[in-house]
């Protein structure tokens, strides 16, 4: 391999067909004279532009059914000609330099074209240069060279991460892997599970429990996840009414008055609330508005007056305090309005508990968050809530539903295959990687392979084949044409 | 092949300087280009011979050879030659490419290589003067072409044999005896040789010979009456015509074996009209032979790589003197 050209942070390397280099591989350009190494990543492999190639191909294309023949080439020169025809140009991005064995993010140095040697470097030896804390490792899978790729839980701690890719590429699988990886290190994880995919986290693939079964809590709203009004502060119930049920301002003020009155009396049942609205000496329209929201709360089935059967987040978090655990909020088959009620309650309660230091921090995994997260929450999550200890991981197959500023602030992106240019354009707005890398590599990722970008891989984008998990697969699409015989 | 290998084994240089002539420019001197200028001093009339499509379909075979300068070493030049034979049978074209054969030619070995090459091809023992290193690649290409032409003459029967160039004999690469022998063998095997020149230096009243075919109705031949058959040592072994075989702007000098009766020669051209595809008056078989023998830039780089790898040479670019002296105005060939 020979260094051919450098423009900005891009370089081109001329490569022979027998060099085993593919997209995503890392190459070291070493100039021994100055003891410096340039770290580059191959983002595309093209044919080298060789003069006369067009004539060559045109001539070859004339041979076929009408024209055929043979070459008498006793010296074997044609193999060298074929070699030139197949010469490749590796388009690479500079990721940093190594000076005296120390890694620097600097692409301004220009190595010698005539003296530099170019060699392939394994991902792990590359990351070894960059890594700080090595503990709390989570095995993601294996790199192209077959070596295991670990990230550390520290890189998810206090961070904002995005898992994205088109349908069926393995996003949820990776998300589960990260959830269980965090649980391994006794972290508390809350999963907003839109399709009931995470319900099997505590079950092994063959059936029966796995090692996480006593640390996975699947909460189904209306079934084993119901709450009482007394658990709720005014702020949480108001969020539900205003944001989930669109209660107007005047009615909200009246509701506050009613809630304070009930609070003074210590009456927090649904029946008491209904009675209070009925007796309220307010405008008829206000009363009607309050009643309609009241019935929405009652009909959601999410609320109960039975304190014993009510779910207490505080207690659940207490259970996960020592060994960690995952609270899976199963939103499958929950209507859009009820989903928002549950979400407002869950997030409101989480913030309340975090604020009160009743829990240290929580990792939140939100699948297709745009379907239930209100507009104002996006900024709240990436700015304010992060400081309270709520570390969010968004999982989506529609990257344009996540706001641009979220991409800009994302610490790590786990990018699966996308073929649509517009989707890639959206993801390429991430601040931690150049758009060319995203567009070139992500388009050709096979299923279950992802491109890790950002802090988790020390800003060295890495392609990884995500490892399998021994958990029961849930949320599979129901098919009409299934083989009933088998 | 052995000559090629033995010449390469004697490379004493450590460096290979690639040829600086732009690769898309022809770097070869061909037999046709080597034909000396013969001005027609006292021409008579030009007679147009209309051609008819014959029913007689015959096999067609064409030969062409290319040579190219690959680069220089400290002691000599590196060149390569390749030949191509294309023949048409039953509406299908077949080809056989011979080579490429790279050679390393130095002042020390040029005479020996040329002599061996020449003696191998021609049954004459007179001691030739080896050409200069600059021209030797073209000379060797010409010798290979004559050798392939001889092979075709000996093996083909009742065939139209197409040469690229003319039937001019008496030059160093085309001794009269040998050229006559080539044609005689073909004649004896009921084949006929037609030589097409893409470029002719022959002029008539100051105009290029082929210009006279502009207004002619194709397919036709323009016969030059009383054309001189010799000029000093140079002898034309063929009758010279201008061939305009299809509509279009192109016409070519066509030499037909002089010892073949004129009618038979014209019949052969008429048979060619039926037997081969003609585009712009040029036979497809000959066009393919040219295409298959010509070196592309990729091939030149491939041959440079072959030599560098096999014989441990390092490819270096020496400063281009013209560029150094004249900067952006230093275009054109070295010299």
Taking only the tens of pLDDT, chain A with its 486 residues reads: 889 988 888 999 999 888 889 888 999 999 888 888 899 999 999 998 877 777 777 777 766 667 888 888 888 888 888 888 889 999 999 988 888 777 877 777 888 888 889 999 888 888 877 766 678 889 999 998 888 999 999 988 988 899 999 888 889 899 999 999 999 999 999 999 988 889 888 888 887 888 888 999 999 998 888 998 888 888 889 989 988 888 999 999 999 999 999 888 888 888 889 999 988 888 888 889 999 999 999 998 898 888 888 888 888 888 888 888 999 999 988 888 898 899 888 888 888 888 888 888 999 999 888 777 776 677 777 777 888 888 999 999 888 888 888 888 889 999 999 888 888 888 887 767 788 888 888 888 898 999 999 888 888 899 999 998 888 777 666 777 766 554
Between A103 and B281, residue with greater pLDDT: B281
- Chain A residues inside the 8 Å CB shell of B97: 69-73
Residue carrying structure tokens 């490749």 = A88
Pairing of strands B60-72, B15-18: antiparallel
Nearest-Cα distance to chain B for A82, in Å, is 8
Residue B241 is classified by DSSP as E
Q: Rounded to the nearest 5 degrees, what angle is found at the Cα of B148, between the Cα atoms of B147 and B152?
A: 120
Q: Does A57 touch chain B (CB under 8 A)?
A: no
Q: Does A253 touch chain B (CB under 8 A)?
A: no
Q: Rounded to the nearest 5 degrees, what angle is found at the Cα of B211, between the Cα atoms of B209 and B217?
A: 110
- Chain A residues inside the 8 Å CB shell of B86: 69
Within-domain flag for B121? yes
- A53 and B298: CB-CB below 8 Å? yes
Residues B60, B287: contact at Cβ < 8 Å?
no
> Which residues of chain A does CATH 3.40.50.300 include?
137-223+311-466
Give the residue from B102, B277, B297 with the most A CB atoms within 10 Å of its CB, the best one to mutate.
B297
Query: What would the DSSP string read from start to end of B46-87?
Result: EEEEE----S----EEEEEEEEEEEEE-SSEEEEEEEEEEEE
Q: State which residue of chain B sits closest to A48, comparing Cα positions.
A: B298
d(C-alpha B314, C-alpha B308), whole Å: 6
Within-domain flag for B32? yes
Q: Which of B104, B20, B21, B18 is nearest to B315 (CA)?
A: B18
Q: Name which of A69, A78, A84 is nearest B96 (Cβ-Cβ).
A: A69
Q: State which residue of chain B sits closest to A62, comparing Cα positions.
A: B288
- A77 and B100: CB-CB below 8 Å? yes
Q: What is the mean pLDDT of chain B?
A: 80
> Could you confirm whether domain A137-223+311-466 is CATH 3.40.50.300?
yes
Question: Per the structure block, which two tokens stand in for A29?
Answer: 């350009």
pLDDT band for B55, please (50, 70, 90 cuts): confident
Q: Does A2 touch chain B (CB under 8 A)?
A: no
- Chain B residues inside the 8 Å CB shell of A56: 296, 298-299
Q: Using CB atoms and an 8 Å cut-off, which of residues 384-413 of chain A contact chain B? A: none
Nearest-Cα distance to chain A for B317, in Å, is 13
d(C-alpha A3, C-alpha A415), whole Å: 29
Q: Does B18 touch chain A (CB under 8 A)?
A: no
Q: How many domains does chain B have?
A: 1
Gap between the terminal Cα atoms of chain A:
53
Within-domain flag for B34? yes
Q: Name which of A52, A70, A76 is nearest B298 (Cβ-Cβ).
A: A52
Within-domain flag for B230? yes
- Chain A residues inside the 8 Å CB shell of B23: 51-52
Q: Does A56 touch chain B (CB under 8 A)?
A: yes
Q: Does A49 touch chain B (CB under 8 A)?
A: no
Residue A303 is classified by DSSP as B
d(C-alpha A249, C-alpha A385), whole Å: 25
Within-domain flag for B226? yes
Q: How many pairs of residues across A and B have Cβ atoms under 8 Å apart?
A: 98
Residue A250, SS3? helix
Q: Does A48 touch chain B (CB under 8 A)?
A: no
Q: Does A64 touch chain B (CB under 8 A)?
A: no
Within-domain flag for B335? no
pLDDT band for B33, please (50, 70, 90 cuts): very low
d(C-alpha B272, C-alpha B289), whole Å: 16
How much of chain B exceeds pLDDT 90, in percent?
25
Cis before A116 (ω within 30): no
- B95 and A68: CB-CB below 8 Å? yes
d(C-alpha A325, C-alpha A361), whole Å: 12
Within-domain flag for B153? yes
- A84 and B93: CB-CB below 8 Å? no
Q: Which of B216, B170, B186, B176 is nearest to B38 (CA)?
A: B170
Residue B45 is classified by DSSP as -
- B296 and A71: CB-CB below 8 Å? no
Q: Which of B309, B300, B290 is nearest to B100 (CA)?
A: B300
What are the DSSP E strand ranges found in A100-231? 102-104, 117-121, 137-142, 148-152, 161-164, 188-193, 216-219
d(C-alpha B210, C-alpha B216), whole Å: 11
Q: Which of B255, B239, B243 is nearest to B210 (CA)?
A: B243
Q: What are phi and psi of B131, to 5 degrees?
A: -70, 170
What is the tens place of the pLDDT at every residue in B185-234? 999 999 999 999 887 666 666 667 777 777 788 889 888 776 677 777 88
- Chain B residues inside the 8 Å CB shell of A84: 298-299, 301-302, 305
What is the tens place of the pLDDT at every residue in B287-301? 999 999 999 888 888
d(C-alpha A239, C-alpha A180), whole Å: 31
- A80 and B95: CB-CB below 8 Å? no
Residue A225 is classified by DSSP as B
* pTM metric for this prediction: 0.74
Q: Does B132 touch chain A (CB under 8 A)?
A: no
pLDDT band for B12, please (50, 70, 90 cuts): low
> Within 13 Å, how many C-alpha atoms sit on residue B179's CB side?
24
Question: Per the structure block, which two tokens stand in for B144?
Answer: 């290979």
Residue B230 is classified by DSSP as E
Report CA dihedral (A350, A355, A358, A361) to the nearest 10 degrees. Answer: 60
Nearest-Cα distance to chain A for B157, in Å, is 20
Mean pLDDT is lowest, of A222-226, B11-15, B187-191, B270-274, for B11-15
ipTM: 0.73
Q: Which residues make Cβ contacts (< 8 Å) with residue B143, sequence separation at least 6?
A: B117, B118, B121, B122, B173
pLDDT band for B56, please (50, 70, 90 cuts): confident
- B301 and A84: CB-CB below 8 Å? yes
Q: Which domain holds residue B181?
A: 2-329
- Chain A residues inside the 8 Å CB shell of B302: 77-78, 80-85
């Amino acid at each position: 391999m020979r260094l051919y050209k450098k423009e900005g942070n891009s370089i081109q390397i001329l490569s022979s067909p027998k060099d085993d280099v593919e997209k995503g591989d890392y190459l070291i350009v070493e100039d021994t004279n100055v003891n410096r190494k340039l770290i580059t990543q191959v983002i595309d492999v093209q044919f080298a532009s060789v003069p006369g190639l067009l004539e060559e191909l045109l001539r070859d294309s004339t041979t076929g059914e009408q024209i055929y023949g043979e070459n008498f080439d006793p010296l074997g020169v044609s193999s060298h000609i074929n070699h030139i025809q197949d010469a490749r140009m590796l388009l690479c991005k500079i990721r940093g330099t190594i000076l005296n064995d120390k890694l620097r993010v600097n692409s301004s140095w220009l190595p010698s074209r005539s003296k530099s040697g170019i060699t392939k470097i394994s991902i792990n030896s590359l990351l070894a240069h960059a890594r700080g804390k090595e503990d709390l490792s989570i095995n993601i899978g294996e790199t192209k060279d077959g070596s295991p790729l670990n990230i550390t839980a520290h890189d998810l701690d206090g961070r904002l991460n995005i898992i994205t890719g088109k349908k069926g590429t393995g996003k949820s699988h990776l998300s589960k892997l990260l959830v269980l990886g965090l649980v391994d290190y006794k972290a508390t994880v809350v999963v907003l599970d839109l399709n009931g995919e995470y319900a099997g986290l505590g079950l092994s693939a063959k059936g029966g429990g796995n090692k996480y079964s006593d640390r996975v809590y699947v909460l189904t709203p209306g079934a084993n996840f119901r709450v009482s009004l007394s658990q709720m502060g005014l702020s949480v119930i108001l969020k539900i009414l205003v944001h989930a049920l669109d209660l107007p301002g005047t009615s909200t003020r009246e509701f506050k008055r009613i809630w304070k009155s009930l609070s003074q009396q210590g009456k927090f049942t649904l029946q008491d609330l209904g009675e209070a609205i009925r007796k309220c000496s307010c405008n008829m329209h206000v009363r009607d508005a309050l009643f309609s929201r009241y019935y929405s709360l009652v009909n959601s089935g999410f609320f109960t007056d039975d304190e014993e059967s009510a779910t207490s987040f505080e207690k659940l978090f207490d259970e996960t305090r020592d060994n960690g655990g995952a609270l899976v909020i199963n939103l499958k088959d929950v209507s859009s309005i009820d989903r928002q009620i549950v979400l407002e309650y869950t997030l409101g309660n989480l913030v309340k508990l975090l604020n009160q230091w009743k829990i240290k921090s929580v990792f939140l995994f939100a699948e297709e968050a745009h379907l239930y997260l209100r507009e104002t929450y996006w900024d709240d999550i990436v700015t304010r809530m992060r400081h309270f200890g709520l570390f969010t991981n968004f999982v989506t197959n529609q990257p344009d539903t996540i706001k641009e500023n979220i991409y800009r602030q994302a610490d790590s992106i786990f990018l699966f295959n996308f073929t649509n240019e517009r989707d890639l354009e959206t993801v390429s707005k991430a601040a931690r990687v150049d758009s060319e890398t995203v567009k070139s590599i992500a388009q050709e990722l096979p299923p279950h392979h992802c491109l890790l970008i950002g802090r988790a891989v020390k800003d060295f984008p890495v392609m990884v084949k995500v490892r399998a998990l021994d958990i029961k697969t849930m949320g599979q699409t129901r098919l009409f044409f299934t083989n009933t015989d088998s | 092949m052995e000559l090629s290998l033995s010449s390469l084994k004697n490379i004493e240089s450590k460096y290979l300087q690639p040829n600086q002539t732009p690769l898309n420019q022809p770097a070869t001197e061909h037999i046709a280009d080597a034909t000396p200028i013969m001005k027609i001093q006292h021409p008579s009339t030009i007679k147009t011979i209309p051609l008819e499509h014959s029913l007689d379909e015959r096999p067609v075979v064409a030969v062409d050879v290319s040579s190219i300068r690959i680069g220089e070493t400290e002691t000599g030049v590196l060149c390569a030659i390749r030949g191509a034979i294309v023949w048409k049978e039953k509406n299908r074209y077949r080809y056989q490419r011979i080579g490429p054969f790279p050679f390393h030619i130095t002042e020390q070995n040029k005479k020996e290589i040329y002599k061996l090459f020449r003696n191998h091809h021609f049954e004459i023992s007179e001691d030739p003067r080896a050409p200069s290193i600059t021209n030797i690649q073209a000379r060797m290409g010409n010798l290979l072409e004559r050798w392939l032409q001889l092979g075709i003459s000996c093996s083909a029967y009742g065939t139209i044999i197409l040469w690229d160039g003319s039937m001019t004999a008496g030059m160093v690469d085309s001794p009269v005896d040998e050229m006559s022998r080539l044609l005689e063998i073909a004649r004896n095997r009921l084949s006929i040789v037609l030589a097409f020149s893409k470029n002719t230096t022959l002029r008539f009243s100051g105009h290029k010979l082929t210009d006279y075919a502009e207004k002619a109705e194709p397919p036709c031949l323009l016969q030059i009456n009383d054309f001189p058959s010799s000029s000093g040592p140079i002898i034309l072994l063929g009758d010279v015509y201008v061939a305009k075989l299809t509509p279009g702007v192109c016409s070519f000098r066509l030499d037909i074996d002089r010892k073949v009766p004129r009618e038979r020669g014209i019949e052969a051209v008429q048979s060619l009209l039926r037997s081969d595809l003609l585009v712009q008056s040029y036979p497809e078989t000959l066009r393919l032979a040219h295409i298959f023998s010509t070196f592309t830039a990729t091939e030149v780089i491939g041959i440079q790589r072959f030599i560098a790898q096999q014989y441990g040479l390092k490819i270096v670019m020496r400063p281009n003197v013209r560029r150094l002296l004249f900067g952006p105005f230093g275009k054109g060939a070295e010299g």
